[in-house]
Structure 1
Amino acid sequence: MKKYLFMVMVAVMMLSGSITVNAQVAQNGKERTHLTEDQMIQKRTEKMVQTLMLDDATSAKFIPVYSQYLKDKMECRAMKPKHMGMDINTKTDAEVDQMIQDNFAQSHKILDIREKYYVKFHKFLTPKQIMKIYQVEKNDAGKMKIEMIKRQRGMGNKGVFGRPNFKFSD
């Protein structure tokens, strides 16, 4: 009888363990939930408030300005010319020249946005804090670029040597 009870317990433990593993695979697999633009902006703003270690008063001033800054930048990037990333060998010189001019226009617009918000940030942030914003943006862009390369190569959520990247803290 003890042996029978022991075997039942082992079977139950094995089944419950496999259910847990399946739940984790479904959660970490391709069934990802995509954040809306507003959710993404809110998350990035909260992360930046923590990174800059802002007090409540400064935070209250910073959040609406930084949120609008991110929205303006996203709108500018959304206007990315449709022909960018295309093979230039199949284009005429005039088309390539237009691609370059469009890229310049977008770069100028992003610079204008950064200059506009620099003035606004400078009212309640120190220059070091503003520089920290730009550094974090640059680092995040680098991480995003690496992630896109991995996805294009079919590595998905795998890091160096094909091992999964596990994130233990945020």
Structure 2
Amino acid sequence: MKNIIRLLLLAVALTAFSGTVSAQSNKQRLTREQLAEVQAKHIAKEMAMDKATSQRFIKTFCQFQRDIWALGPRPKQSHSQMTDEETGQALKARFAHSRKILDLRQKYYAIYSEFLTQKQIQRVYELERQMMEHLSKRNRRANR
């Protein structure tokens, strides 16, 4: 009888433990839209923006991110076995993509200038870069 109770308790404990483990491994990842909004809210909070400025910033920041995503990923650089002509085309494609990103950054700089000071815009860029570095480091650790 004691062995049956021990076996039953062991089965219950294992079942409870496996439920906890599976719940942790099934964490839902944020969509990139959600992540952009979280980033924008963090920046607004970090900079202590008032409610109206914060709402406008979040909306503008999220639209900027959507515009960047619409450009598609950066063209890949495959160094292996490319001719000089192919390498030149790949470089020109990267330049064109970089130019599009720069054009968007200038467009949104003008929009930010309508409701943020120049120092605030600089701080937004700093915070955004810090977050991207943090996410990049986290992603590298997760892929090891």
Which TM bucket (shorter chain)? Answer: 0.7 to 0.9
Tell me the residue number matched to 1:46. 41
Give the 3-state SS of the residue equivalent to 2:80 in structure 1. Answer: helix
Are residues 146 and 85 of structure 1, via their aligned partners in 2, closer, same or farther at CA, if it must alter by over 3 Å?
A: farther
Tell me the residue number matched to 1:67. 62
Are residues 111 and 96 of structure 1, via their aligned partners in 2, closer, same or farther at CA, if it must alter by over 3 Å?
A: same
Tell me the residue number matched to 1:102. 93
Provide the C-alpha distance between the structure 2 equivalents of 1:107 and 1:128, rounded to a whole number of angstroms.
25
Give the 3-state SS of the residue equivalent to 2:112 in structure 1. Answer: helix
Are residues 32 and 90 of structure 1, via their aligned partners in 2, closer, same or farther at CA, if it must alter by over 3 Å?
A: farther
Provide the C-alpha distance between the structure 1 equivalents of 2:22 and 2:141, rounded to a whole number of angstroms.
20
Are residues 135 and 90 of structure 1, via their aligned partners in 2, closer, same or farther at CA, if it must alter by over 3 Å?
A: same
Unaligned ranges ≥5, structure 2: none
| Among 119, 133, 138, the residue aligned to 1:142 | 133
Provide the C-alpha distance between the structure 2 equivalents of 1:113 and 1:128, rounded to a whole number of angstroms.
20
- For 1:66, the aligned partner's letter is F
Tell me the residue number matched to 1:116. 107
| Among 10, 13, 16, the residue aligned to 1:15 | 13
- Render the CA deviation track for 1:109-143: whole Å, top value 9, x for unaligned: 11111111111111111222211221122222323
Provide the C-alpha distance between the structure 2 equivalents of 1:149 and 1:42, rounded to a whole number of angstroms.
23
- For 1:122, the aligned partner's letter is S
Deviation, structure 1 residue 151: 4.1
Provide the C-alpha distance between the structure 1 equivalents of 2:139 and 2:81, rounded to a whole number of angstroms.
25
| Among 20, 24, 30, the residue aligned to 1:28 | 24
